Every structure is written in C-alpha cells, then in structure tokens.
Amino acid sequence: MGLSLGELATIAGAELRGDPDRVIERVETLQDATAGAISFLANPQYRKFLAETAASAVIVAPGDVAHCHIDCLVSDNPYLAHARVTTALYPDRAVTAGVHPGAVVDSTAQVHPTAEVAANAYVGERAVIGEGVFVGPGCVVLEDCEIGSGSRLVAMATLGPRTRLGQRCLIHPGAVIGGDGFGLANDAGAWVKVPQIGRAWLGDDVEVGSCSSIDRGAIGNTVIDDGVKIDSQVHVAHNVTIGRHTAMAGCAGIAGSTHIGAYCTVAGGVGITGHVELADHVHVSGATAVTRSIKKPGVYTGTVPAMEHASWLKNFARLRHLDDMVRRLRQLEKEMATLRESTNKGT
C-alpha cells in the first residue's frame, strides 16, 4: 500500500510541485525507476538521469526544479527527505508481543507485555526488556541487562552482563555489546587476565552495525552517547566514550580509554590509539592513524607506510617541522639570490 505525494511531502518537510493525490508505492533509482516509484537527486553526477527518468516523482533541490519534467518534492536536503520518505514507505516489521515457545527467558527476567522475544533467543537473570522491544532470533541477553523501549536486536546479537541500551536503539546481526575488554597483565612473559567489571552503556537512538563489538569497561563504563551511529565491523575498546551524534564507518578501531567528542565523523579503516581525546566536530579521513589528542575541530588526514619504529619516530618528528623548514629554505634562497646579484654587480 502506497502513500500520496501530499502525505510524503508532509513527512519529508518538502515543498510539493505536482499532484498531491498521486500514489507512490516504492523507492527506486533515477535510472531504473518505473511508474509508481519515487526517486531522488542528491549527487550532481546523477543529474544526467533526471531528464529521462520514468519515476512518478523525484525529490530534488531547489536548483534542480527547472530540469525536472515530472512531479517533485523540493527540499534543501534531498538526501534527508529521501530518508524520511523511504522510512514511511518501508516501515519496520511490527513487533508481535509475546515470547516465542522456542525462546528461553529466565524466571527472574522482566519482559514488558508489549515486547517480542523471538525463536531461539535467550534472556538471562534479572534482565529488563522494555516496552515494544524486539529481541530477534538467536539473540543472547545476559544477566542484569536493560533494554529501553522501542529498541531492536535484529538477530544473533549478544549483550554481555549488565549492558544497558537506551530507547530506540538498533543492533544489527552479529554485534557484541558488553563483552570483555582486552585487559591483560604481564607475569614474566605470560599473560594474566584482568577482570572487566564495568558496563557498556548506550544512550538513546544508537545504531550498531553487523559484527561490531563494544567492550564493557574495565572498572568504569564504556559510554556511547545519544544518537551515535556505528557501522559494521567496528571495534570500540573498554572505557571508550563517544559523544552524541558521532558517526563511525566500517573497520574503524578505537583503543581503550579514548574520548571522542560530539558530532564527530570517523571514516572507514581509521585507527585511534588509546588514552587520547578528540574534540567535538573532529572529522577523521579514511585509514588515518590518530596517535595524539586532537584539541581543535576540523578535518584530519594522515597515513604513513610501515617502517622500523625508531625510523618512523625520527621521520615523523621531522615532518612536524616541515612547514618551518620550507619557510627557512625560501628565506635562504632569497638571501642567496640577493648575494649572487650583488656579486654579479661587483664584477
């Protein structure tokens, strides 16, 4: 069942240009769209498909309206409008209240009557499952966990002991939240495990991608604040804190006790060493290695091929002085030119 363009315009917060009663049933790309579909144009490189699209409507920016020959929704942020429209046309599966006969729920656990615990899921001792929560097939929720209302564990996700999820969190398949951090003490060459007694604490509206892991704290908590979005195959070590509305792309790795501020972006493959701080509004480019605290907002990039560690330290120390060396070199060149000119005049 579709929605009218008028309804979608209201949902997207966009201006309607066209028939408000036109029914839209699905979302498709500009180049592949057919009648009954809506598409969007956010990236200028796809503008070439706008004139020939067979979509029934398109979401466009104000500057593209003149090039659009069909009904459109006009938005200053077409991609955001697309997200809202797609969410409306493709709603999540409704939660079916109840515990599946194939699930195991400990007698001391509290499962809200409106929550769903699917087949082969396990809910441990004293766990609290909130209103409208979905615990998907094969998920494991260990003792003393708390899951806030409206949160969804899609499938095969694991929450370690005393993990706390806020409201409306989305945890994708294979994610492990609240597992042991990598705490080891060395005893004459042998490793002795350090018990991890803290918690993993996630705020509201947090999303964690497939096969990502967020370790619980060694003593205090690992804290993921409201609105943080974590992609697949990301590792967040013990006692890390991540500020609200920060986004982190796939294969990033954050070492222990690092603090990442609010509204940051961490691109794919980034490595951040332990015990450093990133200020709010810091944006780290893909595959960058962050080995020191970043105190000022901005975009940061840097990759250096592997070499012997002692050589790397020396070279990096020189690299930090590169701008000063260039200025001094230019000054020397000017002085040499002046000296040559003076010498030529003397002869």
341 pLDDT tier (thresholds 50, 70, 90)? confident
Q: How confident is the model at residue 336 (pLDDT cuts 50, 70, 90)?
A: very high
Q: What is the pLDDT of residues 42-71, one digit of tens each?
A: 999 999 999 999 999 999 999 999 999 999
Task: Mean pLDDT check: name the lowest of 40-44, 180-184, 326-330, 338-342.
Answer: 338-342
The pLDDT score that the predictor gives to residue 319 is 82
Share of the chain above pLDDT 70, in %: 99
pLDDT tens across 306-331, in order?
678 888 788 888 888 889 999 999 99
For the annotated catalytic residues, the residue numbers are 238
CA distance 303 to 160: 35
* Exposure string over 143-178, b if 16+ CB within 10 A, otherwise e: bbbbbbbbbbbbbbbbbbbbbbbbbbbbbbbbbbbb
Burial class of residue 81 (count of CB atoms within 10 Å of its CB; 0-12, 13-18, 19+) = buried
- Distance of CA 252 to CAs 140, 176, 249, Å? 25, 15, 6
Q: Specify the pLDDT at position 318.
A: 86
pLDDT tens digits, 36-48 = 999 999 999 999 9
Q: Say if residue 7's pLDDT is above 70.
A: yes
Contact criterion met (CB below 8 Å) for 148 and 132: no
Averaged pLDDT score across all residues of the chain: 96
CATH superfamily of the domain spanning 98-300: Hexapeptide repeat proteins (2.160.10.10)
pLDDT at 315: 85
8 A C-beta contact, residue 13 and residue 87 = no
Residue 243 has pLDDT above 80, yes or no: yes
| CATH of 3-89 among 3.40.50.300, 3.40.1390.10, 3.30.460.80, 3.30.2000.10 | 3.40.1390.10
Q: What is the mean pLDDT of residues 241-264?
A: 98
Query: Residue 347: pLDDT band by 50, 70, 90 thresholds?
Result: low
Going by pLDDT thresholds of 50, 70 and 90, the confidence category of residue 344 is confident
Stretch 200-226: mean pLDDT: 98
Query: pLDDT category, 117, cuts 50, 70, 90?
Result: very high
**Phi (first) and psi of residue 140, to 5 degrees:** -125, 120
Q: Decide if pLDDT at 285 tops 80.
A: yes
Confidence (pLDDT) at 56? 98
Among 86, 77, 87, smallest CA distance to 38 is for: 86
CA 245 to chain centre: 9
Q: How far apart are CA 46 and CA 30, in angstroms?
A: 8
pLDDT in tens, 96-107: 999 999 999 999
pTM for the full predicted model: 0.88
The pLDDT score that the predictor gives to residue 45 is 93
Q: Which residue in this structure is represented by tokens 């003792």?
A: 143
Burial 184-222 (b: 16+ CB within 10 A, else e): eeeeeeeeeeeebebbbbbbbbbbbbbbbbbbbbbeebb
Q: How confident is the model at residue 305 (pLDDT cuts 50, 70, 90)?
A: low
Is pLDDT above 80 for 346? no
